[in-house]
Structures are given as C-alpha cells and as structure tokens.
Amino acid sequence: MHKRSLAIYTFAHFATDFACFFVLFSTVSNGIDSVQKLAVWFLTYNIIAFGLQFVVGYICDIKRSFPAGLIGIIITIVGLVFAKQIYVALILVALGNAFFHVGGGIDSLVNAKGKMARSGVFVSSGTWGVALGTLAGKASISIAYPLAFLIVSGMLIYLYCNPSKINFEKSQFHVAKEGLPIILAIALIFVSVTIRAFSGFSVPIEWKTTALLVLLSAFASFFGKFTGGFIGDRFGARLTGVGALLLSIPLLAFYNDKIMLCLLGIALFNMTMPITLCALAEYLEGFEGLAFGLTTLALLCGTFVTYVYVLPTSVVKYVIIVSIIVSAICILLTTSNRNVNKREKKVEIYNA
C-alpha cells in the first residue's frame, strides 16, 4: 500500500509540475509581451503555489480525510482546459499545484516509517516536471500530453490513495535534535531553507544554453533530492545535511562555470531537502501538512528576494559562501544522527 501510494504520488508530482510549467511557458509567456508584467505574473504564480501550502496543509492536518491531492489534480486540469485565458489559467494551475503538493507531501511523511528517503523520492520527480514542462511549453506541443498525464494521475489517486482509508502513522524520523525549543527549531529550519533557496537561485549558471544542458542540470537536482534521503537514513541527518552543503560551496561559488563540477555541486546542494523537511515534520509531529507547507513558504521567501534584488556580480560568490555556511549551521543546530545511532545500538544488542 505504502509503496503504491509513493509511486502514484511521485508520478502525479511530475504530471502536475509538467502541466503547470507547460502553461507558464506556452500560454503565459507567449501572451504577455512585457518582461516586467511577465515577471510579476510568474511571481504571482509562485506566491499562490508555494505561499498557500501551509494553509492547505493545516486544513489537512485538522481533517485527515481532506483529499488535497485529488483536488489539486482536478483544479490543474481545469486550468489546462482554460489555457487560452491567460490569467485564469495561471491562477488555477497555481492553486492546483498548492493543493496537490500538500496531499502528496503528507503521504510522503506519514507513510515514511521513519525513513527520509520517501520524501526525497516524492519531491525529486517535480524537477523533471519543471524542466520538461518548460521545454514542452516553449516547443508548443499539444495540450493533450499534460492533460493525459493529469487524468491518469487523478484516476490513480482516486482509486488507490483515498486519505480517508489510510492509517496515518506518526512521523518519527529520529533526526530532530532533542531538547531544542520547538519554536526555535522551526525558525532555524525555516531560515535554512530560505537561505538555501536564495543562494541556489543566485548561483550564475550561464552554461545552460541548450535543452540537453537544461536536462543535465535537472538531473543533478533530481539526483540530489532523490538520494539525499537514502544517504541521510544511512549516515545520519546532521552529517549528510551539513556535509553535503559544505562540499557544495567551492563547486557552486568558484567552479559554477565548469559544467561537471557545477552539476556535482547542484546534486550535493539538493541533498538537504528531505533532511530539513523530515526534521521539521518531526518537530511538528501530527501537523505534517503544516510542516510541508512551511518549507515551501520558506522557498518562496528565498526566491522572492531574487525577484526584487539582483546581486552585484562582484559579490555573488561571497554571498553564496556565507549563505550556504549559515544554512549548514542551522541544520547543525536542529538535527542529529540519532536514527543511525539507534540502528547501530540495535545491531550491537542483537550481536551480543
């Protein structure tokens, strides 16, 4: 049951992001001729899609049977149908994105059985949706493709992922640092994700000039998110989160013009995603929807800065270095390797 819902929501995540970015880069980009207006409407999409998730998540936490994932798919389908109505389509797909992500995010947390890997797998597929949806929108392919993906996703969620029939389990990942005040922990994780989003969007990647290079960049991001949870489960949240970020610093700050080194940096940088999400979910145990929504709100805050302020070229590398270090410190202060230590203790007792 748990593996099936993960597979369905992971595919549906790809389908939803594919449809959203198809609309953004086919209908919206072609229908708005002003760069300034286009930036405003793209920012509007982000505010709706990422800024509302904590509200939807809280609703789902209070009423576990609320079918946020299915509702998100349906709203996104309606947005596709009204694709020629530029602003209506943008708002609808943004709303659909918000609802769907919460439904899938909650499933990835409450059915994780203490493993961070599940969240990484679910979130990682969105990277392909964004990249391929962007390319498909620019190529003006038929709307039938994203529509078919969404219909299949909606049917599978309806048939096999009804939240009212799922026995939700507590999201105990054993990665949150003990003894830390919850409010402080939430604030530190929020800051970590916000700064990570800001520094990630600030890295100059000028070599993404072809579709192949765009897909390679997407693969690096996907690979980091996908493997981050598995590596964290094996070596511990703190070691993985802090280590991956610190290792990414020279690659993103000094070698971002070298394709292979930059790709490695992108992968390392994204490994922390499932770690911060699962740590926050553990601090907010029982409010997994709120936890997921707060991480997306933090992403919005980080990316919002890049819309309103462009860093001078001369200071970009220094800002990247400092911001990633601060993000790593926040993870250091809020996570532990207790999940690894717990498993090692069980092995020692068994061997004894």
Using one digit for the tens of pLDDT, what is the confidence trace for 107-118?
A: 999 999 999 999
- Label residues 85-113 b or e (16+ Cβ within 10 Å = b): ebeebbbbbbbbbbbbbbbbbbbbbbbbe
- Count of structural domains within the chain: 2
User: Among positive and negative, which fits the CA dihedral 298, 45, 226, 170?
Assistant: positive
3-state secondary structure 267-333: HHHHCCHHHHHHHHHHHCCCCHHHHHHHHHHHHHHHHHHHHHCCCCHHHHHHHHHHHHHHHHHHHHH
- The length of the chain is 352
Per-residue pLDDT tens over the stretch 159-193:
999 776 666 666 689 999 989 999 999 999 999 99
User: Domain containing 55 — which CATH number?
Assistant: 1.20.1250.20
* Residue 100 covered by a domain: yes
138 and 196, same domain (yes or no): no
Residue 29: inside a domain: yes
Residue 270's pLDDT band, with cuts at 50, 70 and 90, is very high
Q: Please say which residue of 134, 165, 196 terminates a domain.
A: 165
Q: What is the pTM of this model?
A: 0.93
Q: Where are the alpha helices (DSSP H) in 112-210?
A: 117-139, 144-160, 182-202
Are residue 129 and residue 44 in the same domain, yes or no? Answer: yes
Contact between 275 and 330 under an 8 Å Cβ cutoff? The reply is: no
List pLDDT tens digits, range 272-329: 999 999 999 999 999 999 999 999 999 999 999 888 777 888 899 999 999 999 999 9
Last residue of a domain, one of 165, 195, 221: 165
The domain containing residue 338 runs over which residues? 182-351
Strand partners, 335: 176
Same domain, 102 and 149: yes
Instruction: Assess if residue 176 is contained within a domain.
Output: no
